Amino acid sequence: MVGMRRTLFVVTPGVAEVMDAACTRALGPPQRRRLVRLLEEQAIADDGEAWLVQVCRSVLESLNDRGEATATELTEDVPELGLRFTYGEGKAYGGQFGISTRILFLLATEGRIVRGRPRGRWLSSLYAWTPTERWLGQRLPVIETEAAQAELVRRWLLSFGPGTLTDIRWWTGWTSRDTRRALAAVGAVEVSLEAGVGYLLADDLEPVVEPEPWVALLPGLDPTSMGWKEREWYFGDHATMLFDRNGNAGPTVWCDGRVVGGWAQRPGGDVVFTLLEDNGGEAERAVAAEAERLAGWLEGSFITPRFRTPLERQLAS
């Protein structure tokens, strides 16, 4: 479902209700206002709000009848979804985009629909949408916003702490005021980091036992790679090679808690990698073994990341 930073997350029902109240609900009103303005500016409707209410109602009726549907299938039932907005008219960068995308995103931010499984193979980008209540078997419980924000930041600190105020604000998309209030609500403790002041839960202050050496090949947009805003401590100087221009992380190679390289898949199915720093022969052999294991797990499925990074493109060619 749509959550932090207007990004899609895969979550359990328990987390879904927290995320909805802490982040998603706030996305709906501005999205609706922008859509109404576009409808009226582009003369699609004199009363954009009334038009939008009716079309959203029709979309939900179609989804309830079908159980699930792609945007194309919904357009068969609701022809208004086939209309298009025009931008940059007369400009080289001009073009059009479909109304269906904006309306489905609006319904998602309002918690009324969720994106279901892809059609066909698991790599398909053709997704069906379904009513939230049908997918979960019940409506999302209504949680008070501040309580949900406190719970969300508690979960973030459990998974990603310690982190800075900048990290948490970026990850949640909240204001500084909301972030500080949530940290206070969970009794977060200030700690000293190289990047400045950080935060941890009060019962998470004991030294951590040094783990055994480990390596991992994580996919693009993995939650760990995207967990913090200030990334120098785990990406080092490699971010320019491993992120695209919009800040999306590509496939990464990890060694003992740091990003040390990147990987890609070639058309034949082979998983290839490169290390951007020397971690010793044992670590390199462990990465090679992990690449071989990953290639076997994929069983010939070929993945092209939606957000391609300089290193991934270089390795995949």
- Three-class SS string for 193-257? ECCEEEEECCCCCCCCCCCCCCEEEECCCCCCCCCCCCCHHHHCCCHHHHECCCCCECCEEEECC
- C-alpha dihedral sign at 52, 71, 303, 227: positive
Residue 296: burial class (beta carbons within 10 Å; 0-12, 13-18, 19+): exposed
Q: Is the pLDDT of residue 150 over 90?
A: yes
Q: Is the pLDDT of residue 195 over 90?
A: no
Which residue do the tokens 């698991």 mark?
122
According to CATH, what is the number of the domain 145-200?
1.10.10
Region 31-50 average pLDDT: 95
- In contact, 38 and 86? CB cutoff 8 Å: no
Domain boundaries, the chain: 4-136, 145-200, 215-316
Report DSSP state, residue 232: H
The 10s digit of each residue's pLDDT in 102-119 is 999 999 999 999 999 899
Neighbours of 297 (CB within 10 A): 9
- In contact, 169 and 153? CB cutoff 8 Å: no
The 10s digit of each residue's pLDDT in 130-144 is 999 999 998 888 899
What's the pLDDT at 298? Answer: 93
What's the pLDDT at 90? Answer: 75
Indicate the pTM of the whole model.
0.91
- In contact, 84 and 154? CB cutoff 8 Å: no
